[in-house]
Every structure is written in structure tokens, then in C-alpha cells.
Structure 1
Amino acid sequence: MTRLPDPARSRVVLVGTAAYHAKDLSDLPSVTNNVNALAEALTDAANGGFKPEHCVRLRDPADPRDVSRALRNAAAQAEDTLVVYFAGHGMTGPRRHDLFLCTSDSDPAELALSALPYEHLRDVVLDSPANNRIVILDCCYSGRAAQDLMGDAPGVLDQLEIAGTWILAATPANAPALAPQGARYTVFTGHLLSLLTGGLHGGGELIALPDIYRQIRREMTASGMRPPHQRGTDTVDLLALTRNPAYDPGSDVRDPAEWIRSQLHAVPTDAETAPPSGPRVGPATRFESGLRGLVRRAFRRTPTNPLYPIELLHGIQDEVVERRIVLDGFILVPNRYVLGLSPFDWSRLSPYHEALTKELVAWLAEYVAEQQWRVWGELSIVIEVDPRLTTGRIRVVSRIEPGS
């Protein structure tokens, strides 16, 4: 069940570098607004999940050791939740592509001596006794860099992962894209603040971490910007940073077909749920229509679910296309499909497993018929929990069961 942090046992460190002395690092005035507004949102008396006295703001730190001391103090005190946020310039080293977070006195020619290595931040967070660790990075490389934070530089994404931690990383291409001139906030943090202070309409009482990622990803992608990346482990997906200011108990009951229609063009979370090279065809729309027969309350609070039912359909279609074979002039596809979900997704979808599998079987039968393919036997689809999966991912396994 999604919950807020324990305010007395949680700590927040917000670091923002807006002014730089190095000529190769442009100033980012909106970063100061980021830190102040985010602190207010997280410690808001009505909706925030943290106490103001446990939220440290570091604005324009000159020495990376100042950042290190603040991180180590907060990490040692946090027992329930530790949140670390950094906004400013991020750069990678010339050889090993190590990630560095720049302070006001950072020199791009001497990153190892003048900037904070992300590896150090990672170690401090990893050593914290906190049950939940959240790292939010709103940084990019300077205009001279060839790649952004989550680009093709080997090892950068792997550096970000910390066991038991949820990490959200913005990936703008350069400083102007990160902080447009005259904007009050950087682009990524602006979307984050809009969600935390304006709320998620149609969502639940709390804004869970996967909700934050999904909503920001959707908004940034719709605006033609590079979407953020996330990594999460263990049960940190069940945590929220704030209450949902837009929560309306009446929105728990809504037309499931209407909601599914709004998700038909949702961006897949990653390669495991991305669409295949072939086109999506008519049965997907009819799958949506078939959901009209479900009980209205079956989709209670589904808009906040990290995994959308339409992605199950796409996952099955990918598997069908991949596993089809030609035999005696006919194209044959497997008849038995197992949908593996993370424990979190399986639990949240459990009230309507039966209804979903029924509609998915009907869709698959129609899809195969329209393609003029044949099935080895009677179609069946089951939904199972797969503890190896993280929230938002699915795994589809198919096999042939003759005579079933």
C-alpha cells in the first residue's frame, strides 16, 4: 500500500548550483527557484511528507566538500526515507565517463578535484540506514559535452543504480534545453513541481513515485523533449513524496473504456514494452471497447497504476509476432501465454485479472484471425507474479500446448 514517509525519521537534501565561476559553465538562474519551490512542496503543511527542519537547502555551494558533509549528516540521521536532489551542471570525465556534479567553483579541466563525484554521493546514500532512498538528478553536461547524462556514455546509467533506491534522472540535451532563458524553473523540475503542487487529476490520494515518472515522461515526450529515466528496486515504488492536491474520491469510479482510450497512445516504459516493428491494428481498439463490460469499480484508481493494461496487449502482440512459424504453408502461433508482472503490478491489477485475461484472449483470437494465421490449440492467457521484474515491466512467455 502506498504511503508517505515518516516525517520524524526522514531527511531531505536539496542541492542547487545556479552560479558558476568557470567560463565554460553557463549560469542557471532558475536552479535557485527549483530548490526553494521544491523545499516548500515537500514540507507543505497540508500535503508534504517531510518536516521543514529536516530539509536542508544548499544553494550555490562552492566546495564539493560542503555538499558531502550535508549528505553524510542527513544520510546518517535518516531511518525511514532519504531524499537527495541535485540541480545544475553535470559532466562526465574524459576517460572512464564518471559522472561529476558541478559546484560553483568547479573547473571542467579538473573535475576530479573541483566537482562532486556521483560515485561519492552513491556511496553515502548506500551507507544510509534509511529504508527508502530517493535520488533525483536534474542536470546535464555543458554545451561542449558530446553526450547528455543518460546518453551512450558507457557505464553512466549503471553508476546511478543503488540497491533499495528509486532514482529519477532528467536527460536534457544541453543547458538551454534544461533551463530556457527567463523560465522560472528548469524544464524537468518545473514538471515535477507542477505535479506535486497541482496534483494528478483522476489519481489516488497520494502521488506514488511511479506516478511521478509516468506523468513527467508523458508531458515531456508530448512536448518533444527527451524523457526522464528511472530506476527503482524493492518496495520503494510504494512510497509517495506528497499527498495529491487534486485528489477527488469521486474519481475512483470512472468509465474504464474512457480511461483505456486515453492510454492507447501512452509511451512504453522501455524496450520490454515497446511496440514491434509491425503496425498496431484494429483489434486493439476493440479490446478497449470490450472493457465496457467490466464493473465500473474494477478500474478503481487505475490511472495511478504504474502498468497500463494496454501494455499487456502490446506485450502479447510482440510475442505473437516473434514466435510465429511457417508450417505446411500456414503461419502458426502458440496458444498458451503467461504474462509475468512485478509483485507490485500484480497486486494492483489483481482485482480484475479474470476480466483482463478474458478480454485479452478475445482480442488475440480476433487479431490472429485478421492476420489469417492459425493457432496450435485453444488460446489461454494467465497472469502470474514474477519477483525478478521491477515495477512497470512485463515478461511474456508463450508455448505450444497441443490438444489444450
Structure 2
Amino acid sequence: MNLPCYPKGHALLIGVANYQHVPGLPAAILNDAQDVAATLTSTAYCGYTPANVITLLDGQATRAAILANLAELAVRASADDTVCVFFSGHGAIVGSPGDEDSVLVAVDTDLSDIERTSISSEEFGKALSRIKAKRVLVFIDACHAGGAAVSKSLADGKGHSFKSGYSQNTFEKLAAGSGRALMASCRADEVSGVFRGARNSVFTSALLAGLRGAADKVGCGFIRVFDLFNYVAEEVPKQIPDDQHPIFKADNLETNFAIALSLGGKKSTVLSGLVEVAATASSQDPWMALELALSDLYPLGPRDQEIWSRAGGDLSRLEFQSTGKAAWHSALRKLRQGGGGRSITLATLIRAALEDFAAHPTLTALEAR
């Protein structure tokens, strides 16, 4: 039995609650990292291969270990992969007013030597830029209310003190680059809520619900980046009205790319039924059946999930269209006439789509023709 999987997904989850030199944070912070890891690797949810998901908690999350695992991620992830980096813990703002920057506070960060014992935004950004994957999403859940950061300051009791959290400038740095995006738990002037006795922070609770299928409102079988943020951005203010607003930064993001399976890749029964009906009605015309199926599975058109390229096609041979359906109609008409790229055929396109939707009835029927 082949279990649903998303083999191109990679993740690094970091959670620090018990620091060596600064006040700690609620236990929910550790749960956040563990629960995101469990959700990503669950075959019932996101389908990541467990070996591709690394979790660093408390004493494991030293400055050296975080940087080493980011470097290892850069080696492991290929251009066609999807990478998620999640950090829940302290952030500290450094620099002068008007030129503020931020550092990631590792478990062994010493405020008396913060420059050498923390991870600067420049260092973090460079580590992310070395990752070859075309889809990289960074989650930052910091400045936690309910912990020491509620006062918006981070001190060690020895005369060293910094404003806690992350600056807007830092968020922009971490989201820089094509295919890069950042999702943060709150604005720079807010705190990230953790309710007393709750298993997870408010932000991560919404994130987990989204990853567990709530963000896939159309039932397409994938969790997509814009859909996930929209869900989280709507849900967090329901719990903390007016005081916490997640933010999203993307410097050069053109597509609503998938980051994981939704409910193990399960499509809405309504949508699946429509595709089956369309396939039956078009049984004498495989091209029409394929067009209906692909328009449903890849609503953004042939560029969606790089399906056209993966099938051996050349996107530069396709004309721009205003909608995904129009793009598919135009692309398949060109393919039928022998165009669209030297290596693409009806068979290679069906096989590429079956890599994403192995049990799809229309694709399976078309492959068997």
C-alpha cells in the first residue's frame, strides 16, 4: 500500500523555551515546534518524509546547531523542493533607532556578547539564500505574551537589556529573493499571544489548523502559501481582536505555490465527483477530459506546480492567458498540434499529473487508454 507523501518537502523546526542566559518562555513554545513537525510528517495531513524534517528543541538549538542544520538543508534540498523553516522563541532588536535590526536568540545566546552568540538577520538571510529550493517559507513566532517578552524587553539580570521581538526591516530581509516568503506571528509593535494552559500559541494554533486542512477551502488536495496565510490572518484576530495581526512578506512571489499535501492529498468529494462526471461525459475525447481535469487540479494553469515543465514542456512556447482555464485550453490545443515543447506529449503530461494525484480517476482512465 502506497501511503500519501510529499517527498519534495523539507523542514527545519526550532523551538526554545528554556534559555541558558535569559528568562524562559511558556512550554507551549516547545509544543509548537513539535506539533508542526508532527503535522508535516503525518500521512493524514502534509505527507512530508520524516527524514526530511529536523526538529531542534531547547538545548539542541544552539547557535552552532541552528546554522549547521540550515547549511545541511541547503545541501539536501534541490531546486524543485519546498522548504519550511519554523522558529519559535526569543528575538532581540539591536541597532540604533531608525536603523534597527534583529537577531535570533539561540538557547546559548549571551546578552553580554550578543553579536557573537546570536544569529543576525544578515547571517540568517545568507543561510536561507544558500538553499536552492525555489519555494522557501519562513515562519517566525516570537515576542510571546505570557512569557518574559510580554514587557517587550529581554534582560539577563546583569545589566544587559534589549528590546525583544523582530523589526520590520528584518522581516523584509528574510523574505528577500525569488520564491521566498515569510509569515510572522505579529507586527513589530505587538506581542504573540499564548493563553494560560494552552498547548500552543495563538499563531501556531491557527497555523496547525491551516496545515491540517482548514486552509484548503476549495479541497484541491494541497496547502498553498497564500491560502495558508489568508487563513491564519483571519483566525488569529478572532482569538485576540485588535492586538495581534500576523504579517506576510514576499519580495518576488508570483505563484500561490503548494507547501504540503492537504489531508494527505485528499480532494473534495464534490470536486472529484465533478471531474469524474466530466471524464465520463468526455470519454470519446481524451483532450477535453484532460483539460477539465487539469483545470481543476492546477487552477493557475500550466505553470502551477511546474506541471508543464515537469512533463517535458517549454513554458516559453505558451501564450499568456488571463485565467488558468484559458491557459490550459490554449496549451493543450498547442500540444495537440505538436507544440508546447520538444519533449512533452499527452502521455508525459498525464504521467506528471499522476505523480501529484496518483489515484485520480480521470487521469488513471486516460493513462490506460
Cα distance change of structure 1 residues 173 and 349 upon mapping to structure 2, 3 Å threshold: farther
Q: How much does 1:144 deviate?
A: 3.5
After TM superposition, give the deviation of residue 101 of structure 1 in Å.
1.1
Distance 1:154 1:86, change over 3 A: closer
Q: Among 171, 176, 195, which residue is 2:186 paired with?
A: 171
Give the structure 2 partner of residue 100 of structure 1.
103
> 1:325 maps to what in 2?
none
- Give the conservation status (yes or no) of the 8 Å contact 2:84–2:136: yes
Distance in 1, matches of 2:260 and 2:46, equals 7
- Say which is worse superposed, 232-241 or 186-195, in terms of deviation: 232-241
Query: After the TM superposition, which of the residue ranges 193-202 and 11-20 deviates more from structure 2?
Result: 193-202
Conserved? CA contact 1:204–1:252, under 8 Å: no
Equivalent residue number for residue 182 of structure 1: 197
Q: Secondary structure at the match of 2:323?
A: helix
The unaligned stretches of length 5 or more in structure 1 are: 255-296, 306-343, 352-404
Give the match's secondary structure for 2:195: coil
Read off the aligned partner of 1:93 and give its amino acid letter.
V
Question: Is the Cα contact below 8 Å between 1:15 and 1:57 reproduced in 2?
Answer: yes
Q: Give 1:217 shift.
A: 0.5
1:248 aligns with 2:251: no
SS in 2 for 1:19: coil
Aligned position for 1:136: 139
- Give the direction of change, closer, same or farther, for the CA distance of 1:89–1:253 in structure 2 (3 Å limit): farther
From 247, 256, 263, the equivalent of 1:229 is 247
Name 2:75's counterpart in structure 1.
76
The residue aligned with 2:41 is 43
- Alignment counterpart, residue 157 of structure 1, candidates 165, 171, 182: 171
Write the letter of the residue equivalent to 2:124: L
Give the conservation status (yes or no) of the 8 Å contact 2:94–2:163: no
- How far, CA to CA, are the matches of 2:213 and 2:253 in structure 1? 28
Deviation at 1:178, TM superposition (A): 3.0
Q: CA deviation at 1:46?
A: 3.2
Alignment deviations for residues 131-156 of structure 1 (CA, whole Å, 9 cap, x no partner): 22111111127324497756xx5623
The residue that corresponds to 1:204 in the other structure is 219
Summarize the Cα distance change of 1:5–1:212 in structure 2 as closer, same or farther, 3 Å threshold.
farther
Offset at 1:51?
A: 0.5
Deviates more, 1:13-22 or 1:226-235: 226-235
Distance of aligned partners of 1:86 and 1:5 in 2 relative to their CA distance in 1, 3 Å threshold: farther
The residue aligned with 1:86 is 87
The answer to whether the 8 A contact 1:28-1:88 is kept is: no
Unmatched segments (≥5 aa) in structure 2: 154-161, 275-291, 301-319, 328-369
Q: Give the AA of the match of 2:93.
A: T
Q: 1:64·1:116 contact (CA, 8 Å) conserved in 2?
A: yes
SS at match of 1:222: helix
Q: 1:87 and 1:349, CA in 2 relative to 1: closer, same or farther beyond 3 A?
A: farther
1:401 aligned partner:
none
Identity of aligned residues (%): 20
C-alpha displacement at 1:49, in angstroms? 3.8
Counterpart residue type for residue 197 of structure 2? G
CA RMSD of superposed structures (Å): 3.6
Change (3 A) 1:66 1:136: same
Compute the displacement of 1:66 (Å). Answer: 1.0
TM-superposed CA distance for 1:201, in Å, is 6.8
Q: Distance in 2 between matches of 1:21 and 1:120?
A: 22
Q: Matched residues in 1 for 2:61 and 2:263: separation?
A: 36
Q: Is the 8 A contact 2:5 2:43 kept in 1?
A: no
Q: TM-score with structure 1 length normalisation?
A: 0.56
Aligned length: 261
| C-alpha contact 1:166 1:236 (8 A) present in aligned 2 | no
| Residue 154 to residue 248, structure 1, CA distance change in 2 (3 Å) | closer
Aligned residue number for residue 336 of structure 1: none
- State the shift of 1:228 in Å: 1.2
Q: 1:110 to 1:43 in 2, by over 3 A?
A: same
Separation (CA, whole Å) in 2 of partners of 1:144 and 1:234: 32
Give the whole-Å Cα distance in 1 for the aligned partners of 2:94 and 2:238: 32
